[in-house]
């Protein structure tokens, strides 16, 4: 396998972007990445997109978006793994370059969620239709059951959940691309409307439009495109039973644990060496479970990490410096790529007010469904 | 849900039919081709008990569009005496009572109306067992 580098990134603002279509969003992000690298060609494009079909009535977005980019003719395909679509598109692009199949590959993600679809119902298609959705379960309901299970087993409290949102909004306020740039308080979170008990509106990531793109090439060719390439040190992908009911412990994200184990082995490092991480906080409880499964804290101890400042900017391991899905926004197919971009910027000292000083190793973890898909990438400053 | 699909799922939805793996004995619900525990392919058909215990639960306040009139409603992951775990609504009770360990009887109920034709879709919901009657099948 060849060493692979990220050499450029592009990303739209995340939010309710009513003036932009699915194709506009993709082209804006992709063009920014290509312009940064002064690249005039591509060998392949992988687009993470959860549900162009249900959100906008448009499938077959690989060919469509390559065409919109003025690149009709290149190899292009859409990658779908629910909310992990972006992270899995990155992995597909990484494998494409590492294997030698292609030299210059765009890994992108895009979702257009505000064109009028029943968003709750569309997102629910990432759960088990026959045994979960049929009975009225929603995504917040699945994560709410994970939360109650975690609270029951480990004593995690609603205030612990609130602190994840408070921390991520504090981070997001420093991110010009974030959907929400205002801070929230524990009291505001506790007073927000119930979505699925114990989860309230301010424990949940929002409905967002947005796109993100990164450009990959062999590390040995990276200096053609940038003077500060970032190496992809590892990629781990794993799955778990689709239905929450079929996992041994509803409060443990075993796919995340498995994907992380593969990534740590590939990179030859352990969780304690990671200096900055983006994790999949689609709901506050998800961040708590993810930092446990990634090995940043012991099993059952994730609840206090945000409150204690352990995962805040300035803490032992800053998590979701971008604001996370909670404050930055969660256009589902774009999220995995946006996470990679935050780590890319951190490792190039480009994160501005959010910069983690001297970070050399960063991690991005993206997941789909109630944790049935998980993908972990580790990035290294070179 | 298109009617052929609903029709196909009737054995599991109406009769709680599960598969018992001939290799390892695991009860798999709904039935599958391959046992998730041992990858065995041979199963005996078995019907689940009409009782279960709540493993974890929530109360849904923001439902999908087709259940708009139902909210708030309780849903839970439950486990039957055979060890089968699945999700269902818990009804006919104070929503605050739906907590881990709650014993429920599984009752045949209307679950939803689907499509423009309003096809009536049935299945099971959990109803808390009367005090002192826990575990009665």
pLDDT tens-digit series, residues B82-103:
999 999 999 999 999 999 999 9
Query: A148 and B121 in contact by Cβ < 8 A?
Result: no
pLDDT at A43: 98
Query: Nearest residue on chain B to A135, judged by CA atoms?
Result: B88
pLDDT at B136: 45
| Closest-CA distance of chain A to residue B38, Å | 14
Would you give the distance in Å from CA A191 to the centre of its chain? 27
Using the 3D structure, point to which of A224, A254, A278 is the last residue of a domain. Answer: A224
- What six digits make up the tokens of A238? 């794993």
Any domain includes B27: yes
Residue A257 shares a structural domain with residue A292: yes
B75 to chain A: which residues are within 8 Å by CB? 135-137, 141, 145
Mean pLDDT of B14-42: 97
Query: B56 and A193 in contact by Cβ < 8 A?
Result: no
Please list the residues that pair with B113 across neighbouring strands. Answer: B120
Query: B100 and A130 in contact by Cβ < 8 A?
Result: no
Handedness of CA A190, A194, A197, A199 (dihedral sign): negative
The active-site residue, picked from A60, A83, A169, A377, is A83
Q: The domain containing residue A133 runs over which residues?
A: 119-204+233-381
pLDDT at B68: 84
Any domain includes B119: yes
| Closest-CA distance of chain B to residue A257, Å | 19
Looking at the predicted complex, does its ipTM rise above 0.90? yes
pLDDT at B131: 72
Q: Which residue has the tokens 């499938």?
A: A59
| Closest-CA distance of chain B to residue A145, Å | 5
Query: Nearest residue on chain A to B8, judged by CA atoms?
Result: A130
CA distance A261 to A259: 6
pLDDT at B135: 47
Any domain includes B35: yes
| Closest-CA distance of chain B to residue A154, Å | 14
Any domain includes B98: yes
**Phi, psi for A228 (deg, rounded to 5):** -130, 65
A144 to chain B: which residues are within 8 Å by CB? 58
Using the 3D structure, point to which of A173, A194, A224 is the last residue of a domain. Answer: A224
Q: The domain containing residue B87 runs over which residues?
A: 3-128
For chain B, give the percent of residues with pLDDT over 70: 94
Q: Give the containing element (helix H, strand E) for A169.
A: helix A158-172
- What six digits make up the tokens of A236? 């781990």
Q: Put residue A122 in one of left, alpha, beta given phi > 0 → left and psi -120 to 50 → alpha.
A: alpha
Q: For residue B75, give the nearest of A124, A135, A250 by CB distance.
A: A135
Q: What is the CA radius of gyration of chain B?
A: 16
Task: Give me the residues of chain A with pLDDT under 70, please.
Answer: none
Residue A251 shares a structural domain with residue A280: yes
> A332 with A123: CB under 8 angstroms?
yes
CB pairs under 8 A between A and B: 99
Strand order in the sheet with A44-48: A75-79, A44-48, A105-111, A210-218, A4-11, A230-239, A373-381, A361-368, A276-278
pLDDT at B3: 77
pLDDT at A348: 98
Is the pTM higher than 0.95? yes
Question: How crowded is residue A271: how many other Cβ atoms within 10 Å of its Cβ?
Answer: 17
Any domain includes B134: no
Question: How crowded is residue B45: how many other Cβ atoms within 10 Å of its Cβ?
Answer: 11
Q: What is the CA radius of gyration of chain A?
A: 19
Q: For residue B75, give the nearest of A120, A136, A241 by CB distance.
A: A136
**Shortest CA distance to A320 belongs to which of A170, A211, A162, A152?**
A170
pLDDT at B132: 58
Any domain includes B57: yes
Q: Is A217 a catalytic residue?
A: no
Residue A342 shares a structural domain with residue A196: yes
Q: Which residues contact B108 (CB under 8 A, 6 or more apart)?
A: B14, B122, B123, B124
Any domain includes B107: yes
Using the 3D structure, point to which of A173, A196, A224 is the last residue of a domain. Answer: A224
CA distance A254 to B3: 36
- Compute the C-alpha angle A34/A40/A43, nearest 5°: 85
Q: Which residues contact A192 (CB under 8 A, 6 or more apart)?
A: A200, A201, A202, A203
ω into B72 cis (within 30 of 0): yes
Any domain includes B8: yes
Residue A166 shares a structural domain with residue A253: yes
Residue A215 shares a structural domain with residue A329: no
CATH number of B76's domain: 2.40.50.840
pLDDT tens-digit series, residues A187-233:
999 999 999 999 999 999 999 999 999 999 999 999 999 999 999 99
CATH number of A24's domain: 3.40.47.10
pLDDT at B1: 57
For chain A, give the percent of residues with pLDDT over 70: 100
pLDDT tens-digit series, residues A23-66:
999 999 999 999 999 999 999 999 999 999 999 999 999 999 99
B61 to chain A: which residues are within 8 Å by CB? 193-197
Total domains, chain A: 2
Range 261-280 of A in CB contact (< 8 A) with B = none
CA distance A87 to A367: 8
Beta strands in chain A (DSSP E): 4-11, 44-48, 75-79, 105-111, 194-196, 199-200, 210-218, 230-239, 276-278, 361-368, 373-381
Residue A52 shares a structural domain with residue A31: yes
Residue A128 shares a structural domain with residue A112: no
Total domains, chain B: 1
Would you give the distance in Å from CA A297 to the centre of its chain? 20
Residue A245 shares a structural domain with residue A257: yes
For chain B, give the percent of residues with pLDDT over 90: 75
């Amino acid at each position: 396998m060849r060493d692979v580098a990220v050499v450029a990134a592009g990303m739209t603002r995340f939010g309710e972007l009513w003036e932009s279509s699915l194709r506009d969003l993709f082209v804006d992000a992709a063009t920014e990445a290509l312009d940064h690298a002064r690249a005039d060609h591509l060998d392949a494009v992988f687009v993470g997109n959860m549900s162009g079909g249900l959100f906008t009535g448009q499938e077959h977005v690989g060919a469509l978006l390559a065409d919109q980019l003025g690149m009709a003719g290149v190899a292009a395909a859409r990658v779908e793994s629910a909310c992990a679509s972006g992270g899995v598109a990155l992995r597909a692009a990484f494998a494409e370059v590492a294997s030698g199949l292609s030299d210059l590959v765009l890994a992108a993600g895009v979702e257009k969620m505000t064109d009028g679809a029943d968003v709750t119902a569309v997102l629910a298609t990432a759960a088990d239709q026959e045994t979960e959705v049929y009975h009225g379960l929603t995504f917040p309901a699945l994560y709410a059951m994970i939360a109650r299970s975690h609270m029951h087993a480990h004593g995690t409290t609603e205030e612990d959940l609130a602190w994840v949102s408070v921390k991520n909004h504090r981070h997001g306020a420093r991110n010009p691309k974030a959907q929400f740039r205002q801070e929230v308080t524990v009291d505001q979170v506790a007073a927000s409307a119930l979505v699925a008990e114990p989860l309230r509106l301010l424990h949940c990531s929002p409905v967002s439009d947005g796109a993100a793109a990164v450009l990959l090439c062999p590390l040995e060719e990276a200096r053609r495109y940038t003077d500060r390439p970032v190496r992809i040190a590892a990629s781990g992908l794993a799955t778990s039973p689709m239905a929450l009911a079929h996992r041994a412990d509803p409060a443990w994200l075993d796919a995340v644990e498995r994907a992380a184990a593969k990534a740590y082995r590939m990179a030859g490092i352990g969780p304690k060496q990671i200096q900055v991480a983006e994790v999949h906080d689609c709901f506050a409880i998800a961040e708590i479970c993810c930092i446990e499964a990634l090995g940043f804290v012991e099993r059952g101890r994730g609840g206090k990490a945000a409150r204690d400042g352990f995962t805040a900017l300035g803490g032992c391991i800053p998590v979701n410096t971008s604001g996370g899905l909670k404050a930055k926004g969660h256009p589902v197919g774009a999220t995995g790529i946006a996470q990679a971009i935050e780590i890319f910027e951190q490792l190039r000292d480009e994160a501005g007010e959010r910069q983690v000083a001297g970070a050399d190793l960063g991690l991005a973890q993206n997941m789909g469904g109630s944790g049935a898909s998980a993908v972990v990438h580790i990035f290294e400053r070179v | 849900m298109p009617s052929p699909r609903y029709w196909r799922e009737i054995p599991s939805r109406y009769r709680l039919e599960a598969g018992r793996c001939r290799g390892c004995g695991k009860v798999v619900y709904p039935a599958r081709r391959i046992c998730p525990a041992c990858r065995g392919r041979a199963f005996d058909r078995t019907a689940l008990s009409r009782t279960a215990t709540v493993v974890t639960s929530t109360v849904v306040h923001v439902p999908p569009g087709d259940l708009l009139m139902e909210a708030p409603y309780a849903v839970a992951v439950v486990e039957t005496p055979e060890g089968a775990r699945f999700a269902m609504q818990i009804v006919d009770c104070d929503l605050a009572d739906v907590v881990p360990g709650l014993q429920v009887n599984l009752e045949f109920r209307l679950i939803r109306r689907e499509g423009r034709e309003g096809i009536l879709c049935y299945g099971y919901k959990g109803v808390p067992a009367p005090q002192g009657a826990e575990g009665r099948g």
